């Protein structure tokens, strides 16, 4: 595990597959905006000097009619259309539409609340245990139904999200109370979490490390304490973490039996696809 990532030019280093693409768009936007700002500023200064008040000079009023003034406007418009078509739409599609299919992406449920992040892993069976609002209590933050067989091997983690490096994962997010927003600056993407519906967010983390999760919607008095960590780990370290969590939940014997079952299922032909129940 790396140290806390350093900061480069005020922006935490990128640790996600689509990050470089987003960063280059941001750089392009800033460079062009600075250029436009400087050009207009110099032009304004020139006009102030060239048309300054002089003794005996009289103001001349004449309405615009020259096409010349449309040229810079047209250039800016063309540039903006190009930005949208060449960068905006493709990047948006990549982030929001081209979500990796369920079988290729680790599915993790996230139930946000004032003021914590509850992560639910489906466990070795690949199926999420049933959740029921009526079961929510101080000791069962997400209302997991222990009677559901699929819930037996589910792993819950509060504020700490562990994921393997180089593999996409998808967050299936909902909220127990108000609107929250999952944000990891190193992952360059964020998404609102709304009670009563499921929103999704996917990442393919590509740098091992520990990254801060923040809530990006002012959600109450404890908003600033609603922080967590993403641990992007070697696949073996992630598996080891998952095994430890299972052992803590089920005991060593049951945990290894559950893992063994999953392994033999995985090698059996006609294995059912990982499903999100
Ligand atoms: Cu929040």
Report residue 2's pLDDT band, with 50, 70 and 90 as the boundaries: very low
Of the candidates 159, 156, 193, the one whose C-alpha atom is nearest the C-alpha of residue 173 is: 193
Residue 245 near residue 157, CB atoms below 8 Å: yes
Distance from the CA of 11 to the center of ligand 1, in angstroms? 22
Position 4 scores a pLDDT of 45
pTM check: above 0.75:
yes
User: What's the CA gap between 246 and 195, in Å, rounded?
Assistant: 29
Mean pLDDT over residues 214-219, rounded? 95
Which residues sit opposite 132 in a β-bridge? none
Distance from the CA of 14 to the center of ligand 1, in angstroms? 23
Distance from the CA of 78 to the center of ligand 1, in angstroms? 39
**Residue 7 pLDDT more than 50?**
no
Distance from the CA of 228 to the center of ligand 1, in angstroms? 11
Residue 16 near residue 189, CB atoms below 8 Å: yes
> Which residues fall within 8 angstroms of residue 215, CB to CB, at 6 or more apart?
112, 115, 180, 181, 182, 183, 223, 226, 227
User: What's the CA gap between 138 and 153, in Å, rounded?
Assistant: 20
Mean pLDDT over residues 153-169, rounded? 94
Strands (E), 25-71: none
Residue 146 φ then ψ, to 5°: -65, -15
Q: How far is CA 188 from the centre of its chain?
A: 6
Distance from the CA of 179 to the center of ligand 1, in angstroms? 7
Mean pLDDT over residues 190-219, rounded? 95
Per cent of the chain over pLDDT 70 is 92
Average pLDDT of every residue of the chain: 88
Neighbours of 100 (CB within 10 A): 15
- What angle (nearest 5°) sits at the alpha carbon of residue 85, between those of residues 84 and 88? 45
Q: pLDDT tens, 140-149?
A: 989 999 888 8
Distance from the CA of 220 to the center of ligand 1, in angstroms? 7
Distance from the CA of 181 to the center of ligand 1, in angstroms? 6
Report residue 70's pLDDT band, with 50, 70 and 90 as the boundaries: confident
Which residues sit opposite 137 in a β-bridge? 140
Mean pLDDT over residues 205-220, rounded? 95
Q: pLDDT tens, 263-273?
A: 887 776 554 44
**Residue 5 pLDDT more than 80?**
no
Distance from the CA of 116 to the center of ligand 1, in angstroms? 7
Mean pLDDT over residues 247-260, rounded? 86
Distance from the CA of 215 to the center of ligand 1, in angstroms? 5
Neighbours of 270 (CB within 10 A): 4
Distance from the CA of 249 to the center of ligand 1, in angstroms? 27
Distance from the CA of 207 to the center of ligand 1, in angstroms? 26
């Amino acid at each position: 595990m790396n140290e806390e990532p350093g900061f480069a030019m005020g922006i935490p280093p990128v640790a996600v597959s689509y990050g470089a693409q987003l960063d280059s768009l941001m750089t392009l936007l800033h460079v062009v905006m600075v250029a436009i700002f400087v050009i207009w500023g110099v032009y304004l200064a020139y006009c102030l000097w060239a048309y300054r008040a002089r003794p005996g000079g009289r103001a001349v009023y004449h309405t615009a009619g020259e096409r010349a003034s449309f040229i810079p406007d047209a250039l800016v418009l063309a540039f903006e259309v190009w930005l949208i078509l060449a960068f905006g739409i493709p990047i948006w599609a990549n982030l929001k539409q081209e979500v990796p299919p369920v079988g290729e992406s680790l599915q993790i449920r996230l139930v946000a609340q004032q003021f914590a992040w509850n992560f639910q892993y489906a466990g070795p069976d690949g199926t999420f245990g049933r959740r029921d609002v009526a079961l929510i209590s101080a000791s069962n933050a997400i209302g997991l139904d222990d009677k559901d067989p699929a819930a037996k091997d589910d792993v819950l983690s509060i504020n700490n999200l562990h994921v393997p490096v180089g593999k996409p994962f998808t967050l299936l997010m909902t909220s127990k109370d108000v609107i929250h927003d999952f944000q990891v600056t190193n992952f360059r993407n964020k998404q609102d979490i709304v009670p009563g519906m499921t929103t999704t967010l996917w990442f393919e983390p590509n740098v091992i490390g520990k990254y801060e999760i923040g809530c990006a919607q002012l959600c109450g008095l404890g908003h600033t304490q609603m922080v967590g960590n993403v641990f992007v780990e070697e696949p073996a370290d992630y598996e080891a973490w998952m095994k430890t969590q299972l052992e803590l939940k089920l005991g060593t014997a049951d945990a290894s039996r559950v893992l063994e079952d999953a392994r033999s299922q995985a090698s059996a032909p006609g294995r059912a696809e990982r499903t999100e129940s």
